[in-house]
Amino acid sequence: MIDDLEELYRTQRPQFCRAAAAIAGDGALGEDAVQDAFAKAVRKRRSYRGRGSLESWVWRIVVNAARDARRKRRALVGLRDRPEAASPNGHGDLLPLELLTDRQREVLFLHYYADLDYATIAEALGIRGGTVGATLSTARRVLRQALAPEVKS
């Protein structure tokens, strides 16, 4: 099984890192979260019961690690009230992610940055498959409405 984990890591590391960086709110923290998450997967590999895909199981660990990193980052920089004030690209950006809930953001990130299908996203986040599509649709609608004035101008 460790070979499967290595294969998953080697083939999908950029996607894992990108999604984790988005969730963590920082590129370096996201990358570190992925390393820690795979290390945890290696240690806990015997607890994988084969329910659901290995990929989903690893994604769940990565998402949890990225959430932890995000919490620590908030505590460190005192951004509890302005969670989106900083951006993983280090410049701040025009994407109004603060308008989205945590779940909407995570679904959006996993879909866009990792190109995961709805079933894998659902397993990774521990939600129902039907919820993923609706959440993603809502997230994009909120962003679309927020960006509409910018596009018109």
Partner 1 sequence: MTETRIDELLDEHVPAFEPRLDGWEDVLARAHTTRRRYAALAVAALALLLVPTAVALRWQIAELFQGTPAPPAVSTSFEGLNRFADATIRAGFARQAPHADVSKAHGVIQIQTADGPQDLWAAPNDEGGVCWFIDFANDQPSGNVQPGFGACVTSSPPAPDILLEGPAWMLRIRRCPRSMGMSTPTPRPCS
Q: Please say which residue, 85 or 128, places its beta carbon nearer to partner 1.
A: 85
CA-nearest of 72, 58, 54 to 19 is 58
Q: Determine whether 131 is exposed, middle or buried from the number of CB atoms within 10 Å of its CB (0-12, 13-18, 19+).
A: middle
What are the backbone dihedrals phi and psi of residue 40, each rounded to the nearest 5 degrees, phi first? -65, -40
Residue 36 found at the interface with partner 1 (CB under 8 A): yes
Contact partners, residue 40, CB within 8 Å, separation at least 6 = 61, 65
Q: Which stretch binds partner 1 (CB under 8 A): 18-26, 57-65, 71-79, 126-134?
A: 18-26
| Site mask for partner 1 (CB under 8 A), range 91-110, x = bound | --xxx-x----------xx-
Query: How far apart are CB 17 and partner 1 at their closest, in Å?
Result: 4
- CA-CA distance, 25 to 123, in Å (whole number)? 22
Residue 148 found at the interface with partner 1 (CB under 8 A): yes
The one-letter amino acid at 139? A
Residues in contact with partner 1 by CB under 8 A are: 6, 9-10, 13-14, 17-18, 21-22, 27, 30-31, 35-36, 38-40, 42-43, 87-89, 93-95, 97, 108-109, 112-113, 140, 143-144, 147-148, 150-151
